[in-house]
Amino acid sequence: MKDAWKSPYNAFNSMKVMLWRQHLEGMATGKLLPPVTVDFDPTNLCNSDCIWCNSKKFREQHPESMSTGHMLDLADFLGDWGVKSACVAGGGEPMLNPGTGKLLRRMKKVGVKTGVITNGIYMSDDQAMAIAESSSWCGFSIDSGSPKTFKIVHGVDKFKDVIKNVKKLVSYKKDLDSDVEITYKYLLHPYNATDLLHAAELAKELGMNTFQSRPVCWDNLYDQTPRDPIDFEPVLDSINWQTEKAMELNDENFHFYGIRHKFGEKLERKVNFKKCLATPIMAVLCADGTVQLCHDLRGKQEWILCRHDNPQDIKKVWGSKKHLDMIKSIDPNKCPRCTFGAYNEIIENVIIEDKMYRDFP
């Protein structure tokens, strides 16, 4: 199996966390700096019914959306606080909040870079223009290469609508001479494994810039319903072959990334660290008004840090004893797939144990 990328200088390489050395040192010592980024959930409403949704019950119990005014207040607060970026996505579909376009424009105005994750089923002309004008990247969670597979994994027959909206954003990118990077996102599952190469070919044909695939996990469901681990073994050879062929599509305008470094050889969950210290790299602002400790645990009552009705309240709890005690209480062996697992490995091996002798050139 080839490496996931030929050049290490790409957005998916977890080693970039070492650029935030002061933040990492603060996490190691309990002296937290403001988060580098935030997960920003404009709404819990969704127009899809994905088979792997990890927030379905949470969304059903909290079908809220943020008001436009509150989102703009939060954007101003994040700019003042020193947050570098925001991923506008969430438990629901961000394009279902009519204020999302205004949010993206305000974020740019206050100096907070944005990326957007959307299922692409609905995207107004103004929202597409706002993304092209204001965002660094936009990921379309398509997870299929055909209408048939899209309906299987997303539960709705909307593949053509998604492709239409991809084309819309690609067109605005060209018209506005925008730098926004447009990504075809693909959660791998045995149900869609055979579509991978075709989806990559389609992404390139559509004029998208990148393709990102990674395995799906069951174990971060909101209700913690016991599930058997997904067995990728019957389709693993096919996934590996398609990944190698898809990487041959790479050129100066298109790059395929198969994100494997956060998983085991059989695409299983892995935990190669003793303590979880990396959650303060991100704040999670949910549509129901809560600030969550970790976006992989979004919606779980015991991991609510505070509320953001008054954005300034976030500062009062960030880095407080309550916050630090919550971090100490995390048991990595009981957690779901850890998005920041590689960051935790780096904190332990580079910051705490100094295995790279970081103060020597």
pLDDT at 212 exceeding the cut of 70: yes
* 150-182 pLDDT tens trace: 999 999 999 999 999 999 999 999 999 999 999
Task: Please report the pLDDT score of residue 12 as a whole number.
Answer: 81
Provide the pLDDT confidence category of residue 339 given band limits of 50, 70 and 90.
confident
pLDDT at 226 exceeding the cut of 60: no
Provide the pLDDT confidence category of residue 205 given band limits of 50, 70 and 90.
very high
pLDDT at 223 exceeding the cut of 70: no
Q: For residue 5, tell me if it sits in a domain.
A: no
Provide the pLDDT confidence category of residue 219 given band limits of 50, 70 and 90.
low
Q: How far apart are CA 361 and CA 359, in angstroms?
A: 7
Compute the mean pLDDT over every residue in the chain, rounded to the nearest whole number.
Answer: 91
pTM reported for the whole predicted model: 0.92
Provide the pLDDT confidence category of residue 1 given band limits of 50, 70 and 90.
very low
* Sign of the CA dihedral running 97, 99, 100, 103: negative
* 276-285 pLDDT tens trace: 999 999 999 9
Q: Which residue has the higher pLDDT, 267 or 58?
A: 58
Task: Please report the pLDDT score of residue 3 as a whole number.
Answer: 61
Task: Please report the pLDDT score of residue 315 as a whole number.
Answer: 97
Q: For residue 59, tell me if it sits in a domain.
A: yes
Helix (H) or strand (E) holding 315: helix 312-317
Task: Please report the pLDDT score of residue 232 as a whole number.
Answer: 83
User: Within a 10 A sphere around the Cβ of 172, how many other Cβ atoms?
Assistant: 18
Q: Which domain holds residue 283?
A: 14-352
Question: Which residue type occupies 153?
Answer: V
Provide the pLDDT confidence category of residue 18 given band limits of 50, 70 and 90.
confident
- The encoded tokens of residue 244 equal 């190698």
Q: For residue 100, tell me if it sits in a domain.
A: yes
- The encoded tokens of residue 347 equal 């904190």
If 0-12 CB within 10 Å is exposed, 13-18 middle and 19+ buried, where does residue 337 land?
Answer: buried
Task: Please report the pLDDT score of residue 13 as a whole number.
Answer: 83
C-alpha separations of 244 from 205, 207, 241, 257 in Å:
18, 20, 5, 10
Query: Residue 323's domain is classified under what CATH number?
Result: 3.20.20.70
Q: For residue 179, tell me if it sits in a domain.
A: yes
For β-strands 304-307 and 290-292, DSSP reports them as: antiparallel
Q: Determine the straight-line distance between the first and last CA of the chain, rounded to whole angstroms.
A: 32
* Sign of the CA dihedral running 284, 290, 293, 299: negative
Provide the domain count of the chain: 1
Task: Please report the pLDDT score of residue 285 as a whole number.
Answer: 97
User: Within a 10 A sphere around the Cβ of 23, how many other Cβ atoms?
Assistant: 21
Q: For residue 345, tell me if it sits in a domain.
A: yes
**Listed ranges 7-16, 20-29, 102-111, 219-228; the one with the highest mean pLDDT:** 102-111
Q: For residue 23, tell me if it sits in a domain.
A: yes
Provide the greatest CA pair distance for the chain: 56
Q: For residue 358, tell me if it sits in a domain.
A: no
- Residue range 44-48: mean pLDDT, rounded: 95
Q: For residue 359, tell me if it sits in a domain.
A: no
Task: Please report the pLDDT score of residue 247 as a whole number.
Answer: 93
Placement of tokens 């994100």 in the chain? 259
pLDDT at 40 exceeding the cut of 90: yes
User: Within a 10 A sphere around the Cβ of 361, how many other Cβ atoms?
Assistant: 3
- The encoded tokens of residue 34 equal 């403001």
pLDDT at 318 exceeding the cut of 90: yes
Paired with 251 in beta bridges are 254
- Residue range 296-322: mean pLDDT, rounded: 92
* 107-162 pLDDT tens trace: 999 999 999 999 999 999 999 999 999 999 999 999 999 999 999 999 999 999 99
